[in-house]
Structures are given as structure tokens and as C-alpha cells.
Chains A and B, each alone.
Chain A
Amino acid sequence: MKSVFLIEAFTVACFVLLSQVTAKNSEDIRCKCICPPYREVKGQIYKQNVSLKDCNCLHVVEPMPVDGKDVEAYCLRCECKYEERSSGTIKVTIIMYLSILGLLLLYMVYLTLLEPILKRRLFGHSQLIQSDDDVGDQQPFANAHNVLSHSHSRPNMLNKVEHAQQRWRRQVQEQRKSVFDRHVVLS
């Protein structure tokens, strides 16, 4: 339980830090001015890397396409917007998301395709049938307790992990039955 919390806290902390560190990357601010067509001048978009207080037509539109006396009229039509983004956050988020997705997919492939083959090779057919029967037990609670009390008696860390995994898989199977097969909940 604590470990989950630590991981969560760590993720959040990472995010806050990252968004702090990367917020002021030079590429991450822009002032964008959209200027509509004016007399012979075509409509144009200007983007400059300037601070918020300089974000106006006079600072951003370079070179100025009209003469001195028309500048004011031209600039009146332009619309300037100051925008900020954090490219670091975007990069980290997307990469993190993709790696989590990738891990999940790998694990999914392992669970659905590889493991049955491996099991069949290692234990033969009987084991598989037995474990299927276990799952069909009508008393999820009794099950959970048995698993828990068994796992206490064995100090081996690996066994514990395996038991936790077994328990989780049993729960998921139960859920899958009620959602996908019997349509009891969530339909």
C-alpha cells in the first residue's frame, strides 16, 4: 500500500518539478499576430519570441509591410495573442504514456499468448484444468482468505508475489465473468 503511495507521490512530484523546470524554455513562449489583408498587403501571420508586455503589433510585425502613416491603421486590425506552453511536459507525458502502454501491451501478450503455451509445456494439461476449476469457486471471500493465510505461512518473497498475482488474476477473471459473460453489472 505504502509503495503505491510513494510511486504516486513521486509521479506527482516529478510532474510539478518538470513543469517548473521546463516552463521557461525559450521555444515555449510566443506572440502570434494575425493580420488581415490591408489594401495591397496580403494577410499574414507573425510569430515572435517576445515577452508578454512586448506582445503587440508594433513589436512583433517585422518587417512592417506598410509605410509609416499606415502603420497605425494596419496594426489596429491585427490581433496579437500571447501564448505559453511547456514542451518538456508534453515530451515527458507522451513518452511516459507510450512506455506504460507498451509495458501493458507486453504483459497482455504474455498473459494471453505466451503463458498458456509455457504452462502447457511445463505442467501438461491437468494443471490447467485444475486452475480453471479454482476460479469457478462461488465464494470469493473464502478464497481470498485461504490465499492470504497460506501466504503468511510461506516467508518466501517470490511466493508472496506469485500469490498476490494469482489472487489478482482470480479477481479479474471473476470481474470478466460478471461483466463480459453474465452481464450482471456494467451493461
Chain B
Amino acid sequence: MEAGEGVSGTTPTEEMNGAGNLMDFLDEPFPDVGTYEDFHTIDWLREKSRDTDRHRKITSKSKESFWELIKSLLDAWSGWVVMLLIGLLSGTLAGVIDLAVDWMTDLKEGVCLTAFYYSHEQCCWTSNETTFEDRDKCPQWQKWAELMTGHSEGGGAYLLNYFLYVLWALLFSFLAVSLVRVFAPYACGSGIPEIKTILSGFIIRGYLGKWTLLIKTVTLVLAVSSGLSLGKEGPLVHVACCCGNLFCSLFSKYSKNEGKRREVLSAAAAAGVSVAFGAPIGGVLFSLEEVSYYFPLKTLWRSFFAALVAAFTLRAINPFGNSRLVLFYVEYHTPWYMAELVPFILLGVFGGLWGTLFIRANIAWCRRRKTTQLGKYPVLEVIAVTGITALLAFPNPYTRRSTSELISELFNDCGALESSQLCDYINNPNMSRPVDDIPDRPAGPGVYTALWQLALALVFKIVITIFTFGMKIPSGLFIPSMAVGAIAGRIVGIAVEQMAYHHHDWIIFKNWCRPGADCVTPGLYAMVGAAACLGGVTRMTVSLVVIMFELTGGLEYIVPLMAAAVTSKWVADAFGKEGIYESHIQLNGYPYLDVRDEFTHRTLATDVMRPRRNDPPLAVLTQDSTTVEDVETLIKDTDYNGFPVVVSRESERLIGFVQRRDLTLAIKNARQKQDGVVSSSVVYFTEDGPQTPLSNPQPLKLRRVLNLSPFTVTDHTPMETVVDIFRKLGLRQCLVTRSGRLLGIITKKDVLRHMAQMMNQDPESIMFN
């Protein structure tokens, strides 16, 4: 969102100002009118009417000549072209990130001798030396200790590997945090709270810029491969939105209209989730349910298209080598039974509790970081957390590998050919069944070892994720949340399975689980647990379930996933209404008017409007008696973002509303270019100039920056209605009148502060306009 790219093409003429036109437009264009300042809220209504005007102009012009017709067609298509470009770029970037993360994660442990750019799996891809027992070992891939000392076993080698693992992790995270610090500070964090706020109409200049895009992509790889407990999903949404913003600047339709730009960004968010999870439909629903504010059907279709293109591009790159979009694809289709709903719901409860714990603890920690000395050492903090993570993660095989690999293993069912420790069941020697349908078996020693290792991993993940999310590096929390849920789910799953195996005669297992039948799939429990935990943290429901079944390909498991998602939402909502993103929005005090909040207090507009009872009167302009100097003094002395224009100070009848920024620019422009405009010139907002003697300096007409249809309510309008109007129309401010006389003004900030006050929160926490 760059300012001052130079405006061209917006030359609305007088005949445009016909019926139904909300704005009186510029006679001649000059740069930046109608743009907004940094950290300010846009006026959706104004943006919409500007777009309508532009559109009407193009339609009327298109009848004039063939060339104009083609231009109008191109304009109509530009939305789809932008979507195509966004899909292509975000899909490519996601592929690059996936491949690079894969390689760099393995770089912590060793290197491929034949080709350094191969990850462990790719290195042994064609090797014929892999054995059945040691499936991922091959001579081409060497661990660091083996490469340096020649020994692959023993305490020395272990320690050397340990040391190098920690060292690499520290190096990666240090690079990530310094790149973020030097080149693009806005690239840190998950980005979803800010995207949400931006989509609701806030302006953070540079947040979706090119440098942010580049640095976020590069550092995301470093952050994920450093082994920190974070994921790439949230940042990928941010990356996709940066792509969206980048391509917006190619078309004036989008670059000059903040409202239209947000439609593109909503669709870009969908493309981001589409490639992050490999879930195109889930991405569209995520954009609709979680991040978007204004989501008309047209945007839905465009998101659909963008998500499709992005997924297709990612698939063409095939980063996981399994010809699928995702790493977590499961291949089992075993049925589930009604009785299993009980553990699923219990997992839902766990997810809700985890969500509450995580949100509370993380927000408390982030508040600490924001307000105390801790925030002064962002680089040191990242280094310290990485060091602790790496030191604790290495000894446990389940935390040493990347989190997505862990989740993928937890989701998997134990076939007869699985070699992992989790699948160390005692096999019946004369069993010869097809791979898909293996009866329940007693757990072997490996499973019990795995269980306590998983339990340790669970505690570790829960604690470390709280401290990791919100550090000054790109960090998402989908993957860690899912990992927590998947670990818990797998533990519960194995417990239920063993219970069913050892107690066939219990009343609950009697008609469900006969001996020799395959009745419990621990992988399914892991899936349900992951959904529940993710739901508890983000409070998604529909999009969560869709993402989960697209992610795993388990269409049969929609009902368990739904049950877990709903339970976790209920449990988490019982402790606090806000999800993690809303909590972070609140922590930062962004002006975000949540559509989901209800406002039920019986206050009136007059209680909220400014000026309050003892305040000085409202700063207003009169339609034809203020001088340029007066206006300039008013602008200098106050910091209001707009001024109502009235007929005269006596009658105070409302004419319109003028934005501070437009006023400043217009006067500056007039002083530079228009002859005869001096400090004592009269400023007038009417159609015809005021009657002045000839000796007076030339008056200045500013009707073109005046909004003639500001939104007004009467002073007795209940706040419930006012809040609704602000939410649904996306207003920036609203004027309060009584019998035609201007009384005061309510801004979005006033509404937010009032809502915070009514909910017993600190109203001063809302900082931006």
C-alpha cells in the first residue's frame, strides 16, 4: 500500500455527479486525494461509491468506441487476472518454501554426499542399499558426526550430532531474526491478526509490501527449519496477501480503491490457506469464516478460483513427492463406531482446555513482552527460546524431527509394513491378511516406549509453543496446535485400542469389538485430537472440519471431526469468547469491530458522541465564511481526522463532511498551483462562490473534497443500532444531529472504546483511529 504512486485515469467530470452519486468528485485530479494515512481506518461507503462512479464512467464510455469497449472488457476481467497471478505466485512460493524447509530441516542432522541439495529422503530415493530394518539409512546420507569423525555410533558421535543440531538451529533462528530486524520488521509474527484488521478496513502501510513478501518468505524457511515450535500456515496467508497487494498495483481499479483492494486480499488469504494446507475449499471457507470482513459472493467465486490456481501450481511442483498436495494424507478407510464418540468428545474437551490455556498464557506472555524490559531484547529472546527448544528437542525422537513429519506419523495407521516404533505391535505369526485390515493387536515394548516419549513431547510442545508464538520471527500456530492435539489423540487412541483388545467382554466393547476385528484406529484419534486443539485455539468450525478432511482425505470421518470441533468450541467459549487472533487484535488495540460480538447495552448515541458535556464545542467549518488561514489554524491546532461543514455557526445545519487529509492536500495544491489564493482567501463549499467585493482575494472552491452525504443519526438512536450500522456499512465516522442541527460526531474509535468500556475493559487500549 504505497502512497503517491501518481494518480492517473481518475478524471470524473461534472456530468458524473448525477442522481445517486454520493460524492462530489474532483474537477481535476491531484495526487493522493481519497487516500488514507497510515494507521487509519478507511471509509467503506466512500470507497464503494467511488468504485460505482468509476464503473459507471467506464460503461458509458464503452459505448463510444470499439477501443473503449475492449478497455471496459479488460477492466471487467482484471479481477480474474489478478486472481490467476496471485494463485501462480503464491503456489510457487509455497512450493519453494516446502522444498527449502525439507532440505534445511535435514541439514541440521547431516548432509547428502552425492548432491548437497537433497534432503534425507531425496538422498536415499534411488539408493538400493536401504534395508528392511533401517529404512531411511543409506550410505549417501551421512550424519555430521559420521562425516567428521568417521564413527556413526557411540557417545561421542551422539554428542557431536547433538551439538551441531543445536548450533544449526541457533544459526537459522539468528539469521531469521536479524533479517526481519534489518529489512522488514513487519514480517514477524503470524500475520493473521493484522490481516484480519486490514481486511476490516485498517491501513498499515508497508505491511503487505514487497520487502515484507521477500523477507517473510526467506525467513519463514529459516524459522521453520530451525526446529522451533511453529508452523508455516499463518505466515503463508500473509505471504499470499502480499502477493495480492503486489498484483493490485498493476491495475488502477484495485490500487486506487482500498475497498476493492480488500476484496482481492480476501481472495488472496484463501489462496494462502489453500497452499499452506493443500486444502482449496478449506481455504475459501477459512477466508470467509475467519479472516474476511466484507465477503460478497463475487469475492467467494474469485477466492475459489485463486485457491484452485494456487493448489494446481503447488501440485505441479509436487514438493512432497507423493503426488499429493499435503504431507498428512492418510490412506485408511476403516469405519468408526458410535461408542467412539465418547473419546472423541473427550478429545474435544481437551482441545477446548488447551485452547483456553494457550490463549491466556500466550497473551499474558505477549503483554509482558510488550510492556516490560523483555521486549527490549527480541534477538536474544529468539536465540534463547531456540536454544532451549533445540536442547530439549534433540533427545526425544518425536520432537527432534520436524513437526509436520511428526503429525504425519501420528495420523498414520499401523500397517503390517510400518517400521516406526509406534507400530511395534506383537504380530500374530500366522496372520496373512491384506494390508488394509489388520485386527487389533497387543502393544509391544516399542509402543510403550513411544507412549512415554509422546507424553514428554506433549508437555514440551504445550509449554514451548506458548513462548514461541509472538516472537519476532514469522511464526504460525496451526502446526504446533495440531501437533499437541495429535499427540494427545494418539495416546488416547492407543489406550482405547489396548483396552478394547484386553477387555473384549466389557459391556461397551461387547457388540462393537469382537476378537480379531479391527475396531480402533489410533490414527483417527490423532486426527480428531488435532482438529479439536486447532479449533480450541482459533475457534474455527466449518472451515476447520473441511481443512481437516481435505488434509487427510478422510471423508468418512466428518462426523467425529465435527463433534470434536463443536465440543472444543463450546468448552473454549465457556472460558472466554475470543480466539487467539481476536485476543492478539485486542492486545495490540487495533480498531477491529468484530461482527460476532453482540452489543446489548441500552446506551444512546448521545452518550457516546463527542464533544462530551464539558468539552469544547465541535470543530466545524462553515460553508462559505472560513478563510484559508482559519482552516490551516484549525488543522494545525487539532488532530481530528475530519471536519463537519455547516451552513453557519448560528444555525449549525449540516452540509457535509470533509476529511482532514483531503483538506490539507487540496489547500496545499491550491496554494501551489492556483493564482490568487492567499491566507485571507475565503474557502467555500457551495456550488457558487460567496458574494464578495472585488478587492478581496480570490475565493477557493473546495466542494470537490466535500462528502455531501455523510452518515447521520439522531441523538436518541440506541447504540445497538449505531454499532450495527458501523459494522455493516463499514463507516469511519457518523454525525449526530437533532432536528437537523449538528450535535456531535461518533467515530469508529469512540464505538470501540465504548464497547470496551461496556465489557469492563480498558477503553484506552484502543489506540488507533
Contacts and interface: CB of A to CB of B under 8 A. Distances in A.
Interface string B430-470: 00101100000000000000000000000000000000001
A180 B472 contact: yes
Interface stretch (B57-65, B118-126, B292-300, B711-719): B118-126
Contacts of B96: 93, 96-97
A163 to B, nearest CB: 13
B369 A100 contact: no
A157 interface: no
Contacts of B322: 83
B20 interface: no
A41 to B, nearest CB: 10
Contacts of A93: 95-96, 99-100
A76 B587 CA distance: 59
A184 B122 contact: no
A15 B96 CA distance: 10
Nearest to A86: B318
B392 interface: no
A104 interface: yes
A186 B186 contact: yes
Contacts of B246: 4-5, 8
Contact of A90 (B85, B99, B206, B215): B99
Contacts of A15: 92, 95, 317
Interface in B247-299: 247, 249-250
A43 interface: yes
Interface in A1-22: 1-2, 4-5, 8, 11-12, 15-16, 19
A77 B744 CA distance: 80
Interface size class of B (residues with CB under 8 A): 35 or more
Contacts of B127: 47
Contacts of A96: 96
A1 to B, nearest CB: 5
B4 to A, nearest CB: 6
A176 B185 contact: yes
Contacts of B378: 180
Contacts of A19: 316-318
Contacts of A53: none
B211 A42 contact: no
Contacts of A58: none
Contacts of A36: 132, 416-417
A117 to B, nearest CB: 16
Interface stretch (B174-182, B533-541, B750-758): B174-182
Contacts of A101: 175, 218, 222
Contacts, number: 171
B344 to A, nearest CB: 30
A15 B184 CA distance: 26
Interface string A123-147: 0000000000000000011001100
A104 B432 contact: no
A45 B132 contact: yes
Interface residues of A, number: 64
Nearest to A34: B417
Contacts of A84: 318, 321, 323
Nearest to B88: A12
B456 to A, nearest CB: 30
B179 A108 contact: yes
A144 B665 CA distance: 14
B92 A11 contact: yes
Contact of A94 (B100, B133, B179): B100
A22 to B, nearest CB: 11
Nearest to B249: A1
Given A27-B126, A47-B128, A145 B117 contact: no
Nearest to B96: A93
B552 to A, nearest CB: 18
A29 to B, nearest CB: 10
Contacts of B556: none
Best-surrounded residue of A4, A35, A87, A180 (most CB of chain B within 10 A):
A180
Best-surrounded residue of B131, B132, B222, B434 (most CB of chain A within 10 A):
B132
Nearest to A179: B185
Nearest to B427: A36
B342 interface: no
B375 A183 contact: yes
Contact of B184 (A73, A77, A172): A172
Given A44-B131, A180-B378, A180-B472, A77 B182 contact: no
Interface string B237-252: 0000000001101100
A90 B117 contact: yes
B321 A168 contact: no
B89 A8 contact: yes
Interface in B163-206: 175, 178-179, 181-186, 188-189, 194, 204-206
Contacts of B132: 34-37, 42-45
Contacts of B103: 90, 94
B546 to A, nearest CB: 28
B307 to A, nearest CB: 17
Contact of B317 (A1, A35, A89, A105): A89
B95 A179 contact: no
B469 to A, nearest CB: 12
B366 A111 contact: no
Nearest to A8: B89
Given A12-B89, A90-B99, A184-B767, 4 more contacts: A77-B432, A89-B95, A185-B186, A186-B194
Interface of A: 1-2, 4-5, 8, 11-12, 15-16, 19, 27, 30, 34-37, 42-45, 47, 49, 73, 76-77, 79, 83-87, 89-91, 93-97, 100-101, 104-105, 108, 111-112, 140-141, 144-145, 148, 168, 171-172, 175-176, 178-180, 183-187
Interface of B: 3-5, 37-38, 85, 88-89, 92, 95-96, 99-100, 103, 115, 117-118, 122, 125-128, 130-133, 135, 175, 178-179, 181-186, 188-189, 194, 204-206, 210-211, 214-215, 218, 221-222, 246-247, 249-250, 316-318, 321-323, 366, 369-371, 375, 378, 415-417, 432, 434-435, 470, 472, 587-588, 590, 767
11 contacts: A1-B250, A5-B247, A8-B85, A12-B92, A44-B131, A47-B126, A79-B435, A85-B125, A101-B222, A180-B472, A187-B375
